């Protein structure tokens, strides 16, 4: 049995993870219980809990706001993981941290490999990359899981936004020239449990960065169409209210037509071969995960 310190339990991934470990002791902390901008609190809590493993899904994830709150984004996404890593190293514990497709600039024509050059094009991506580098510099057994387009039945995310807008509006315009893999928080949590069982932190060749997404790819436009289709399919048997937006009334627009404070990479596709080769783990397809999540929705 392991003692796991889990941060960010009110976030999408933290919430999904907190009930998944049936045979381990999990100390699950919210921002109120551990504010990751407070370095002394991080050190004190880790020393009190004395975990074997720290899992840190807490992060500053407001991509656009990060452009104007860069110091805060770096405090949570770079300094805090560094302190967690230092404290874990003192205890000879291991660390699992999460990172993002936004460490890449998106100019590659095919899916990114972990060995490809990073070049973040927004402040959030820079802060997450700084977190990766800080953990690596500490040199403890660690896994850095780069995921993408996270959504779930719980939390603030694209799925819930589309369902809300679909109920309110007759038509939508959704960006069609950014591609990637929508990844459910549930499938991330299930994958992390498999990883924790498969990982031997004493094996140095297992430490490092892994791409960790649902398989397959689509655009935000493709994702929104699948959400509406799946909703309409489930609505028949579940007596859900009809949406105003139909799939045919979702216009495919360009990134240029939907300007945001932070730039986004056009290509967010992450090749997950390394995860499969080292650990024999593969997350489900994004369509299957979407179906599973939507079956848990209630209206």
Binding site for ligand NAP (CB under 6 A): 8, 10-14, 31, 35-37, 57-61, 76, 98, 100, 128, 147-150, 155
Q: What is the 3-state secondary structure (H, E, C) of 72-136?
A: HHHHHHHHHHHHHHHHHHHCCCEEEEEEEHHHCCCCCCCCECCCCCCCCCCHHHHHHHHHHHHHH
* Residues 184 and 285: beta-carbon distance below 8 Å: no
d(CA 220, CA 202): 40
H/E run at residue 197: helix 185-198
- Name the catalytic one among 60, 102, 112, 124: 124
d(CA 105, CA 266): 8
- For the bound state, the minimum distance from the C-beta of residue 267 to ligand NAP, rounded and expressed in Å, comes to 15
Partners of 173 in the beta sheet? 251
Q: Closest residue (Cβ) to ligand NAP?
A: 11
Q: Please give the structure tokens belonging to residue 26.
A: 């999990």
60 is catalytic: no
Interhelix angle 80-90/123-138, rounded to 10 degrees, is: 20
Active-site positions read 124
């Amino acid at each position: 049995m392991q003692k796991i310190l889990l941060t960010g339990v009110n976030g999408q991934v933290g919430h999904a993870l907190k009930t998944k470990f049936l045979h381990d002791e999990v100390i699950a902390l919210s921002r109120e219980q551990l504010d990751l901008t407070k370095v002394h609190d991080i050190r004190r809590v880790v020393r009190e809990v004395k975990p074997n493993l720290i899992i840190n899904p807490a992060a500053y994830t407001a991509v656009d706001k990060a452009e104007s709150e860069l110091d805060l984004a770096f405090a949570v996404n770079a300094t805090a993981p560094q302190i967690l890593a230092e404290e874990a190293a003192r205890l000879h514990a291991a660390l699992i941290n999460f990172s993002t497709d936004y460490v890449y600039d998106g100019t590659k024509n095919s899916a990114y490999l972990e060995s490809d050059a990073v070049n973040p094009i927004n402040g959030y991506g820079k802060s997450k990359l700084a977190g990766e580098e800080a953990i690596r510099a500490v040199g403890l057994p660690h896994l850095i899981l780069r995921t993408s387009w996270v959504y779930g039945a719980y939390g603030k995310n694209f799925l819930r936004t589309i369902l809300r807008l679909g109920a309110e509006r007759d038509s939508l315009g959704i960006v069609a020239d950014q591609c990637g893999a929508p990844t459910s928080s549930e499938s991330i949590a299930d994958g992390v449990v498999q990883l924790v069982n498969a990982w031997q932190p004493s094996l140095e060749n297992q430490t490092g960065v892994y791409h960790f997404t649902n398989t397959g790819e689509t655009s935000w436009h493709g994702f929104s169409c699948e959400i509406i289709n799946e909703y309409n399919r489930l609505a028949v048997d579940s007596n859900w209210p009809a949406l105003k937006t139909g799939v045919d009334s979702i216009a495919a627009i360009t990134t240029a037509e939907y300007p945001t404070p932070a730039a986004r990479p056009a290509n967010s596709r992450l090749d997950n071969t390394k995860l499969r080769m080292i650990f024999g783990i593969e997350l489900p397809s994004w369509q299957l995960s979407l179906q599973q999540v939507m079956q848990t929705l209630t209206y």
